[in-house]
Every structure is written in structure tokens, then in C-alpha cells.
Amino acid sequence: MSVVPVLVINSGSSSFKYQLLDMSTERTLASGLVERIGEPVGVARHTVYAASTSAAAGEVTGTPTFLDATRTRELPISDHTAGFAVMLEAFASDGPSLADNPPVAVGHRVVHGGARFFEPTLITPLVEINIDELSVLAPLHNPANLAGILAARRAFPDAPHVAVFDTAFHQTLAPAAYTYAIDADVAASHRIRRYGFHGTSHKFVSEAAAAFVGRPLEDLKQIVFHLGNGASVTAIDGGRSVDTSMGFTPLEGLVMGTRSGDIDPAVLFQLARRGGMTIDDLDDLLNKRSGLLGLAGSNDLRDIRAGIERGDERAVLAFEVYVHRLRTYAGAYLAQLGGADIISFTAGVGENAPHVRAGALETLGFAGVEIDPDRNESPERGIRVISTDASRVTVLVVPTDEELEIARQTLAVSRA
């Protein structure tokens, strides 16, 4: 079968990540990171993967099984366009050759699609203007995503470029779920509503879960916990997002690595009036100095775990607050859906922290949720069941793969 290369770009303000996939096999061929763009010395890392041919090394799957080589270079990288030139040099020198197999399409992660983009979209100059205009809603993310798009279009002028939006999957939310109960005119004039994020991951995981249990997506009620540094949970009915914990921005909802998640907004009034904090101070507090970091001094759940083992009371409390919030949302979404067929856990914490999974669902026996402790603790990788055979709700761990999902959607749009 001939190779069908699709390049996926995830661009930040001073860095971008890329991944080249062969969509005939859905295998990653290469990935890389270009960072410290605009600083005196930038860094470019390029990794080439080769499929394992030895049965002992495991089956060839969508994820790389054998690491061929990584090369890191340090050099000044003035802007995203220069960064793409560095990436192209890495492909030319370390492979795989883009001259032999140029990408048939380039997919871009775009954080905010507002209420405008509800599906992956072929990028035209008009779409670029819309992404730019949506920077009002995502001032940190959309301009950075757009910088990547513009540079990538210069680097690959002949390939179709496709925008895949983090918010798109949640455009199926009903007004009752996305409307904040504030003055309707104020909300409308500033486009204040819940948008939801991590959509690419929630879509990928819910579809993978349905395929794994061998039932049609349309028939299933699902809850997906995406627990990484950022964390969100989504209620999915028949493949459609009906509620999600992130809102106007990714700050709402669960306790995260550095973000507070849900908080009484009046706390901010108090901190401004009594604590003399500015809007920027408050933004910094809730987005960067809260969550696990704020409670226990580290945003990494492994450190929290180590703290608990040392008897650190702050770590114990941080873990309890984290799990308490998960349980609250699990109950809420069971209620919104009227029960669930599948509950899945994904991302760094969701895939690796059995004590979090157990804690989140511990009290849900009444709703037919029963975790099997041995299955939950098993060090096995890959998609797997962690509920008992008797559990009415199937609980899964599903490794997410946002790049693969972006590549799939990109290919579908470019072929349409």
C-alpha cells in the first residue's frame, strides 16, 4: 500500500509541535518540536520512528513501537516561518523524505472556533480572517495557531490545509447547557457562553470506546474524563456532546494541574476589593497558580502521590479536592444523561493514575458502576476494561491520540 502522509501542526506562540502520519496505516512516521521561537537560541527536536518488524517488540499499531532516532539542534529561530524552514531541513536530513512523499494534507489544531466552526474546515483566506477574529475569545491561543497556519501555508503551498477546532465537538450543546445565567444582553454583546474544549480528544475517545465494546456510537451514553494537565469531562449521548465541564475558557470545571476549575466568582471580587489584586493578578492566580500546584506545590500528580506517601497533609488535601470534584461531575453527568453505558478515562492522569479513577467512581455502585481493583491497577497499556464483568456501566481506560484524530479529520475534509 502506498504511503498517505498527513502532517499535523499544533502551534503555540513561541513553539510548535508537528507529527507526520502515514494514514494508510495510521502510523506515526516522525514527530518534532520547535521551541523558543524569537529567543536568542531556539531548539528544534526531530524524531523519526520505524515500525517494529520483530514480533518480540510487539505488534505494529497506530503508536510508534520502536524509536529510531531523535536529533536536537540549537539555533536562532526568528519566527514561525523560520521554524518551518528548520523543520523542513530536519525532514530532508533525517527523513522521512517529504520530497519523495509530500504531505497530501496539513491539519492544524485551532483552539477556538467560537459558535461559527462546528466541523473541521478547509482553510481559505476567509477562514484565516475568522480564526483571527476569534482571537477576541482566545487571545493567547488563536493568534499563535494562526501564526502556525500562515507559516505552514508558505512551507506547503500546494497541500490543502485544514483547521480542526478544540471547541467544534461541543457545538452540539443545547442552549440550556451552554447559556450562563447572566444578563442576556451583556452575554450576547460579548459572546459570553460555554464553548467547551478538548473536543478532539473527547470525540476520539468516545469513538474508540464504542468501537472497542463493539456497539454503535449512536446507541451509547458515555462520560469521558480527559485528565491531563488541563482536565475536562464530557457527557456524550449518541456521539453528541451534551455537556462539558470547560466553559467560556478552559478555566471552568475540574481541578487541574495549575487551574482552579469551578470557583464562586465572588471570590474574585473579594480578592480585588480586599486583596488589591488586579485583573491580571487574578487571571494569573486562577490559571497558573491554582489547582494541584496551588494546593500542594506541584502540578504533577506523581508528586502529589509521593507527598501522600510521605504524609504531607497538603498533598492529601489536594488529592481529596481533586477527586471530590471528579465525583461531583460524574454524578452530574449521570443525571444529565439518565445513566451511562461507558465511562472512559484518558490523558496523563486518566491513563496512569488508578487511585484517581477508583476515587472518582467509588460511590457510584448505586448507578451500576463497579471497578475491578486488579484490572484498575494493572500496568497494561492500551485500551482496556477496568470494571467488573457484573458492572452495568463499562469503565475503560482509553489512550487518547489527538494528532491521529486531527489527521483523520484533515484527510476526510481534504478528500471531500
Choose one: 128-136, 282-290, 297-305, 383-391; the region binding ligand ADP (CB under 6 A). 297-305
Pick from 52, 135, 352, 388: which binds ligand ADP (CB under 6 A)? 352
Q: Rounded to an integer, what distance in angstroms lies between the CA atom of residue 363 and that of residue 52?
A: 43
Alpha helices in 95-164 (DSSP H): 125-133, 142-155
Per-residue CA distances from 369 to 274, 327, 330, 365 (Å): 45, 12, 11, 5
- C-alpha cell at position 305: 502521590
- Confirm whether residue 128 is marked as ligand binding: no
Q: Compare residues 138 and 334 and give the one whose CB is closer to ligand ADP.
A: 138
Residue type, 165: F
257 belongs to the binding site for ligand ADP (CB under 6 A): yes
344 touches 224 (CB < 8 A): yes
State the nearest-atom distance from the C-beta of 59 to ligand ADP, in Å.
Answer: 23
Q: Is 224 in the site for ligand ADP (CB under 6 A)?
A: no
d(CA 163, CA 142): 11
Q: Specify the DSSP class assigned to residue 96.
A: -
Which listed residue (353, 361, 371, 386) binds ligand ADP by CB under 6 A? 353
Q: Please state, in angstroms and rounded to a whole number, the distance separating the CA atoms of residues 149 and 320.
A: 41
Contact segment (CB under 6 A) with ligand ADP among 135-143, 151-159, 182-190, 223-231 equals 223-231
Question: How many residues touch ligand ADP (CB under 6 A)?
Answer: 13
Q: How far is the CB of 174 from ligand ADP (least distance, A)?
A: 28
Q: Does 300 bind ligand ADP (CB under 6 A)?
A: yes
Q: Is 230 in the site for ligand ADP (CB under 6 A)?
A: yes
302 annotated ligand-binding residue: yes
114: alpha, beta or left? (left if phi > 0; alpha if psi -120 to 50): left
- Go through the chain and tell me how many residues it has: 416
Q: Which residue, 13 or 179, is less far from ligand ADP as judged by CB? A: 13
Residue 218 dihedral angles phi and psi, to the nearest 5° = -60, -25
To which residue does cell 481541578 refer? Answer: 255
Residue 275 annotated as part of some ligand binding site: no
In the residue annotation, 166 being an active-site residue is answered as yes
Q: Is 352 annotated as a binding residue?
A: yes
Task: List the end-to-end C-alpha distance of the chain, in Å, as a whole number.
Answer: 21
Task: Name the DSSP letter for residue 4.
Answer: -
Burial of 67 (0-12, 13-18, 19+ CB in 10 A): exposed
Q: How many CB atoms lie within 10 A of CB 305?
A: 15
Q: Give dist(CA 191, CA 114) in Å, integer.
A: 9
The minimum distance between CB 70 and ligand ADP, in angstroms, equals 18
Q: How far is the CB of 139 from ligand ADP (least distance, A)?
A: 20
Q: Does 348 carry a binding-site annotation?
A: yes
Part in contact with ligand ADP (CB under 6 A); list of ranges 26-34, 180-188, 277-285, 296-304: 296-304
For ligand ADP, give the closer residue by CB, 87 or 347. Answer: 347
E strands within 100-191? 105-110, 121-122, 161-165
Q: Which of 166, 243, 341, 401 is catalytic?
A: 166
109 is in an annotated binding site: yes
170 annotated as belonging to a binding site for a ligand: no
Is the backbone of residue 196 left (phi > 0), alpha (psi -120 to 50) or beta? left
Report in angstroms how near the CB of residue 229 gets to ligand ADP at its nearest. 4
Would you count residue 349 as binding ligand ADP (CB under 6 A)?
A: yes
For ligand ADP, give the closer residue by CB, 169 or 178.
Answer: 169
348 part of the interface to ligand ADP, by CB under 6 A: yes
* Residue partners of 269: CB distance under 8 A and separation at least 6: none
Q: Please state the closest distance from residue 102 (CB atom) to ligand ADP, in A.
A: 29
Residue (42 or 348) nearer to ligand ADP, CB: 348
Q: Give the closest residue to 152 by CA, choosing from 7, 349, 55, 350.
A: 7
Question: Does residue 381 bind ligand ADP (CB under 6 A)?
Answer: no
For 275-303, give the DSSP string.
Answer: T---HHHHHHHHHHS-HHHHHHS-S-HHH
In this chain, which stretch among 72-80, 272-280, 331-339, 348-356 interacts with ligand ADP, using CB under 6 A? Answer: 348-356
Our CB check for ligand ADP shows the closer of 12 and 230 to be: 230
Tell me whether residue 215 is annotated as binding. no
Which sequence positions are flagged as catalytic?
166
List interacting residues with ligand ADP (CB under 6 A): 228-230, 257, 299-302, 347-349, 352-353
Q: Return binding residues.
A: 10, 17, 109, 226-230, 300-302, 348-352, 402
